[in-house]
Amino acid sequence: MQERLGRGEYNAATTRVLHFKYNPEAELAREARDARVAELESENEALRENLGRLEAAAAQVGGAARHAWAQRPCQRQMARCCSSTACP
């Protein structure tokens, strides 16, 4: 419409533009957008649940590894000693 106005094809002072209160095309676009948002929200929730399970599993594995490492203080001290230059 802006192109036609620029070319002078009609007089903007005497031409009226109607906007539909219920626009079928806009309604379809809104429904498609709402469906996509619902789909993305569902996917987001599934990903958050999966992330929660992975974080819980990592905490269990990490906690077990820290616990095992804490039970071997002699090995930690030996590793420190042998990594230094003072080790024979």
15/17 Cα distance (integer angstroms) = 7
- Distance set, CA 30 to CA 25, 37, 38, 73, 78 (Å): 9, 10, 12, 64, 67
**What would the pLDDT profile of 3-38 be if each residue is shown by its tens digit?**
766 676 777 788 787 777 888 888 999 999 999 999
Look at the block and give the residue holding tokens 């996917």. 43
CB 5 within 8 A of CB 12: yes
**What would the pLDDT profile of 61-77 be if each residue is shown by its tens digit?**
876 655 555 555 555 55
15/37 Cα distance (integer angstroms) = 38
Q: Taking the model in full, what pTM does it have?
A: 0.48
